[in-house]
Amino acid sequence: MTGVVEARIVPSINFHGVTPDRMMREDPLLTARIRARDPLVLQQLVREHIGMLLRVCRSWGMSADFAEDVVQETMLTFIARAADFDGRSRVRTWLYGIMRKKAASLRRTADRDDETDAIDQVVESRFTAIGRWGRGPRAPDARADAQRVRAWIGQCLAGLTERRRHAFVLAEIDDLTTDEICRVLDVTPGNLGVLLFRARNGLRECLEARGISGRHDADV
Amino acid sequence: MLTCRDVARRVASATQGGGEPMSGMMLRVHLLLCRDCRRYARELRALGDALRRGHAADADAEQLRILEQRIIDLGFPHIS
């Protein structure tokens, strides 16, 4: 299992296009106006970002009402602390960071990710001793599957630990770089890789257990 | 030489960011040759697609406008 625990992030598969893997900085001009607490700029940022923040909160599994509360508290904190914004990360990265802490403090159900986990064993059991697929993933029926995956993914997400859910959603839903996600979650790239590995395999197993992976059929 | 296990680990822990070109090349070759790994990668991609295409639907415009107004009222009490 050490291999999994040590799993490093090797972001060599581009799931949807290449994004430079680095901490992006905010535009200096915008940073200056944020620090000066320019109300027009801050209000514009509220307008620009609340849609995505709300979407991330909902994907993290919050009810509509709770998500609105968290987004509101996040933006109010951002407005109150605007003078501290240093521009070394993008505004959205800063917002996600605030929001993650708000979500945790408003709910108070921190959970831990232990060094090893049942999902690691489940994944490992699929491979033969020489590392080939023993019990391979079954081929989904592409079209019917997309709909069913969408229908079930919310429930399967709810079964993940909070940190895995946060990592998975941030990695998939917005165009954050690896370093930005790490900053938001306050983890190392290695930790992030493990969180994503467990989140994705947990979701995949959850869907497969519900028969959503579909038929065992023809070649890809 | 990458095993399927190696490929699965890398695919499942990947982010959208750029990475190491050599291992990217080896991964691509492996995926080209290995049906099971292709299926696995495709299933994981479908998870992200499902999330993006809205398991959590976007809030409607009216709801967003109300929230925006509430935040601005609370955040800038001296203006409104």
> ipTM score of the complex?
0.86
Q: Chain A interface, mutation test: which of B1, B29, B63, B71, most A Cβ atoms within 10 Å? A: B71
Contact A111, A188 (CB under 8 A): no
pLDDT of residue A145: 66
In a domain, B15, yes or no: yes
* Number of inter-chain CB pairs under 8 A, A vs B: 205
| Centroid of chain to Cα A38 | 31
User: Collapsing DSSP states into helix, strand and coil, what is residue A127?
Assistant: strand
B36 touches chain A (CB under 8 A): yes
Is the per-residue pLDDT at B56 higher than 90?
no
Total domains in the fold of chain B: 1
Q: Which of residues 38-77 of B touch A (CB under 8 A)?
A: 38-59, 64, 67-68, 70-72, 74-76
Judged by CB atoms closer than 8 Å, whether chains meet at B3 and A130 is answered as yes
In a domain, B80, yes or no: no
Q: What is the mean pLDDT of residues B50-69?
A: 81
Tell me which residue of A129, A134, A36 sits closest to A79, measured CA to CA: A36
First to last CA, chain B: 65
Residues of B in contact with A71 (CB under 8 A): 67, 71
Query: Which residues form the domain of B31?
Result: 4-75
Judged by CB atoms closer than 8 Å, whether chains meet at A76 and B71 is answered as yes
In a domain, B46, yes or no: yes
Sign of the Cα torsion A5, A11, A12, A15 reads positive
Query: Could you tell me which residue, B57 or A128, shows the higher pLDDT?
Result: A128
Domains identified in chain A and CATH numbers: 28-107 (1.10.1740.10), 111-209 (1.10.10.10)
Q: Tell me the per-residue pLDDT of A56-76, one tens digit each, with 9 for 90 and over.
A: 999 998 888 899 999 999 999
Q: Quick one: closest CA in A to B29, which residue?
A: A13
pLDDT band at A219; cut points 50, 70, 90: very low
pLDDT of residue B15: 82
Q: Tell me the per-residue pLDDT of A70-120, one tens digit each, with 9 for 90 and over.
A: 999 999 999 999 999 999 999 999 999 999 999 888 765 545 555 567 888
B35 CA: distance to closest CA in chain A (Å): 7
Percent of chain A at pLDDT > 90 equals 49
Strand partners, A19: B17
A110 CA: distance to closest CA in chain B (Å): 22
pLDDT of residue A68: 93
- What's the CA gap between B69 and B80, in Å, rounded? 10
Residues of B in contact with A8 (CB under 8 A): 13
Judged by CB atoms closer than 8 Å, whether chains meet at A150 and B9 is answered as no
Token couple for A161: 């630990």
Sign of the Cα torsion A87, A105, A153, A159 reads positive
